[in-house]
A and B are shown apart, each in its own frame.
Chain A
């Protein structure tokens, strides 16, 4: 039947996509419900960076490692292109104090086998010859970082799932749920009802609002991140560039405007990031935020300042109160599985999606994931 499947996935971002990919690979019948278009959320509005040294050693980093292998597999099997390229990446520091903390962080990653080092002054130009080292005093370099194309990746997952039988309903917004005891029996959308044995919630920044329909209050906040994109130009930025405070601390409080950027395979640069704590889903961009970013970019890359900006946009992205992801089955509604708040999901989505599929199918899984259980908020 068109509206019935083993698993209903809500949200067609990279997370919902990866889960759909692995569930259909294992023969499950899957229905994907998306309120707008594939990759219309954060998965279509981000910088496409593969980031390592902003992650705690443990499961998250193991997911990252496994994901790089899985990404290669998709291309080798001819399934889809991700444009993944491991170029090395840097995070930027502006003073001695930050550099000192950065060095400690680097030691932590060296110990577990990552190739990281602190580049000082002119050494930074080995990686990024165009950066102004009068402004940037130090950069934490990590050889294992890189970039990919977030659109082709997200669309690739969904297309493969569809090839293996998944059904995608776009412009179909989940409004509510109907229960049978405490099992979700029916997923109610603006296009009618859908039925599945398991319901996967992969709704990114929209998760808390949707879950309020079930009287659940997961402490997921959301913000609006703005980026801009330039005309395509010859290679001038090699790898991902992120703000150093991503690496040396958590930067989730308040609004911020810090430089992070990527040059993509087609030559365009996406330049970020202006982030605002908002309490609505309006995807507008703030004028002073975007002007601020432009100035920040020109200051860091004075000889690239004539590149034209052709478009700006914003995307809604979640963050969980305790900074851990939410991943696993609900206790209150035992046939509901949630995945939200994965930090920089593109680095880990393949392995995390695979694990979610294993858990849903009832296969064995790494028990470290239990730390992320949604039950901690129920």
Chain B
């Protein structure tokens, strides 16, 4: 679901439709919108599982402060999806536990 007409923010801006992949699933997104918005629009609410108990987490503050919405994006862990914008062909994965520390294997 998307809000096309918002009483304060106004009408949604025309954007290119692109495909991104979330845990292998193909999803239509708007280029330049936050990844989190694209996921919410198709009903994905769980972005990651916590370190100790594996509980689900998703969008929380929506403004890049809380780190609750982090996912693996194009192989990089701990990416805040609420402030990272969609690009065509992005490979996005639910993050389980601690993030990888970076390209350790390369």
Contact = CB atoms under 8 A, between A and B. Distances in A.
Contacts, number: 45
Nearest to B79: A308
Interface residues of B, number: 15
B102 A267 contact: no
B77 A233 contact: yes
B99 A233 contact: yes
A165 interface: no
Contacts of A266: 51
A237 to B, nearest CB: 8
Contact of B78 (A130, A233, A303, A305): A233
B104 interface: yes
Given A231-B78, A303-B103, A308-B80, 5 more contacts: A232-B51, A233-B78, A267-B51, A267-B99, A306-B103
Contacts of B98: 232-234, 267
Contacts of B67: 231, 310
B101 interface: yes
Interface in A122-165: 130
A304 interface: yes
Contact of A306 (B70, B80, B102): B102
Contacts of A233: 77-78, 98-102
A297 to B, nearest CB: 12
B103 A234 contact: no
A179 interface: no
Contact of A234 (B70, B80, B100, B106): B100
A127 B103 CA distance: 19
B76 interface: yes
A235 B97 CA distance: 12
A193 to B, nearest CB: 42
A305 B51 contact: no
Interface string A207-240: 0000000000000000000000001111110000
Contacts of A303: 102-104, 106
23 contacts: A130-B101, A130-B104, A231-B78, A232-B99, A233-B78, A233-B100, A233-B101, A233-B102, A234-B99, A234-B101, A236-B101, A236-B102, A266-B51, A267-B98, A267-B99, A303-B104, A304-B101, A304-B102, A305-B102, A306-B76, A306-B103, A307-B102, A308-B80
